Amino acid sequence: MAGSIKIRAKIESDGACEVKALIKHTMETGMRKDKDGEKIPAKFIQEILCKHGDKVVLETNWGGAVSKNPYISFRFDGASKGDKIELSWTDNTGESDAAEAIIK
């Protein structure tokens, strides 16, 4: 799933860094059936981890009720323009991906 993550991080007028990320992922709950009536197996992101340098700035657990192609946005203090931010996800099948962005 390399390349599944798009990140934008920007220092806002109050000095906080706002992170917005969009992840390409099916987020299948495991409850849906396909057109032949077969259950579509569960496949959804369970964990998101976001780090500013070495510091964890957000840890997240998700269930299958987060929408397909999930979006996450949050804000934290202590970052500067040009710093690196890293975001990674892991789903219930063990698949994962990570991406980095430079704070604008």
Partner 1 sequence: MSLSRRQFIQLISLAGAAGMLPATASAASRRQGEDLYQTPGFGNVSLLHITDTHAQLNPIYFREPSVNLGLGRAKGKAPHLVGEALLHHFGIAAGTPEAHAFTYLGFSEAAQQYGKVGGFAHLATLVKQIRAERGEGNSLLLDGGDTWQGSGTALWTRGKDMVGACNLLGVDVMTGHWEFTYRDSEVLQNINDFNGDFVANNVSLTEDALFDYRFSDFAGYDEDSGHAFKPYTMREVNGVRVAVIGQAFPYTPIANPSRFIPDWTFGIRPEEMQERVDQIREKENPAVVVVISHNGMDVDLKLAEVVSGIDVIFGGHTHDGVPAPIAVSNRGGKTLVTNAGSNGKYLGVMDLDVRGGKVQDFRYRLLPIFSNLLKADAEMQRYIDEVRRPYLGQLNEKLALAEDLLYRRGNFNGTFDQIICDAQRVVGDAEIALSPGFRWGTTVLPGQAITMENLLDQTATTYPETYVREMSGADIKRILEDVLDNLFNPDPFFQQGGDMVRVGGLDYVCEPGATIGSRVSDLTLDSGKKLEATKKYKVAGWATVGSQAPGAPIWEVVAEYLRQQKVAKIEKMNLPKLKGVAGNPGIAA
Partner 2 sequence: MNMKRRLFLKGTLASTTIALAAGAGLITPQQLLAAWPESAFGAKSVDDAYSAIGGGARTPSDAVMIKAPQIAENGAVVPITVSSTLKGVTRIAILVEKNATPLVALYQLPTGTHPYVSTRIKMGKTSNVIAMIEAEGALYTAEKEVKVTIGGCGG
Interface residue list for partner 1 (CB under 8 A): 6, 8, 20, 22, 69, 71, 73
Question: Interior CA angle at 29 toward 25 and 31, to 5°?
Answer: 145
Q: Is 86 helix (H, G, I), strand (E, B) or coil?
A: strand
Cα separation, 69 vs 9, whole angstroms: 19
**Closer residue to partner 1, CB minimum distance, 42 or 99:** 99
Q: Which does 99 bind (CB under 5 to 8 A by kind): partner 1, partner 2, none?
A: none
> Binding string, 22-41, against partner 2, x = CB under 8 A?
-----x-x-x----------
Pull the structure tokens for residue 14.
């109050």
> Binding string, 52-91, against partner 2, x = CB under 8 A?
---xxxxxxxxxxxxxx-xxxxxxxxx---------x-x-
Buried b (16+ CB within 10 A) or exposed e, 47-85: ebbbbbeeeebbeeebebebeeebebeeebeebeeeeeb
User: Which residues contact partner 2 by CB under 8 A?
Assistant: 1-2, 16, 27, 29, 31, 46-47, 49, 55-68, 70-78, 88, 90, 92-97
